[in-house]
Amino acid sequence: MERRSFIRQTGLAGVLAAGAAPAIVHAQTAIRWRIASSFPKSLDTLFGVCDVFAKRISDMSGGKFVITTHAAGELVPAFGVLDAVSNGTVEMANTAPYYFFGKAPTYALDCAIPFGLNARQMAAWMYEGNGLKLLREFYANVGIVNFPMGNTGAQMGGWYRKEIKSVADLKGLKFRVGGFGGKVAERIGVVPQNIPGGEIYQALEKGTIDAAEWVGPYDDYKLGFYKVAPNYYYPGWWEGGPQLSLYVNQQAYDGLSGEYRAMIESASAFATSTCSASTTIATRRR
């Protein structure tokens, strides 16, 4: 076959005439999603992990996969993110899964339990000990695909309006404490309260609660707890290495290309390492 005939029959003539190479991969349709956080925007570590994640996705996709980030209360309440992702109100959420242990105790295992794993042990269990596989089976029941996305490391024991001198001082204490730790604290007389981060200061100031734990010096300082509860204690035995999670609606996830799914996995891991390290550094500086 002569060269001219081959070029004409294969349709390359126009391409070569234009001096352009044929496209190897068709451009994917632009996607725009939302991620709802359980945390206030003032927390540049806890909420910031969403921004880091979204930027990474945008960078990897060349701006074709855009995720807007939303603080607690903007789209859904702080504790409403699980149901919102499950029913498809939003495509994604970032939260502390132990907030939902009232629905099923298993949620606490995806975050932290009293005297449980530290951050490195949690990562080892998730990626090397079948933890992620087991949790994926659990989340499938509510139409969610989960990914680790953030870890605060060991937390503090909280802020108290009055000094604590003995276990007896804990009896009847209205204590904002996250997750399954409250069930254990109940056994020594504490009255656990599950309150979103953005509402803790007002509750302490008004005396609705007597004490509250959150994360550590950096984030706690930003929320101003020291102004209304001057007694600070350590450690938070209920949270040795609480892991945050990225929730993705199963149906929305299934509709993505393999390339975009890989981006979510990679970006969530990147955000975890970046923001977990930032939390540790910021706490030490404080």
Mean pLDDT of the region 32-37 = 98
Spatial contact of 168 and 246, defined as CB atoms under 8 Å apart: no
| Start-to-end C-alpha separation, the chain | 76
What's residue 275's pLDDT? 76
The pLDDT, as a whole number, for residue 281 is 42
What confidence tier does 16 reach under pLDDT thresholds 50, 70, 90? very low
Domain boundaries of the chain, sorted by first residue: 31-151+243-285, 158-233
What confidence tens digit (pLDDT) does each residue in 57-106 have?
Answer: 999 999 999 999 999 999 999 999 999 999 999 999 999 999 999 999 99
Instruction: State residue 2's pLDDT score.
Output: 54
CATH T-level fold of 158-233: D-Maltodextrin-Binding Protein; domain 2 (3.40.190)
pLDDT interval class at 6 (50, 70, 90): very low
In degrees rounded to 5, what are phi and psi of residue 168?
-60, -30
Q: What would the pLDDT profile of 213-226 be if each residue is shown by its tens digit?
A: 999 999 999 999 99
Q: Which whole-number Å values give the CA distances from 267 to 107, 188, 261, in the listed order? A: 23, 42, 10
pLDDT in tens, 238-284: 999 999 999 999 999 999 999 999 999 999 999 998 876 445 444 44
Q: Which fold has domain 31-151+243-285?
A: D-Maltodextrin-Binding Protein; domain 2 (3.40.190)
**Predicted pLDDT at 21:** 39
Q: How far apart are CA 69 and CA 60, in angstroms?
A: 17
Same fold for the pair 31-151+243-285 and 158-233: yes
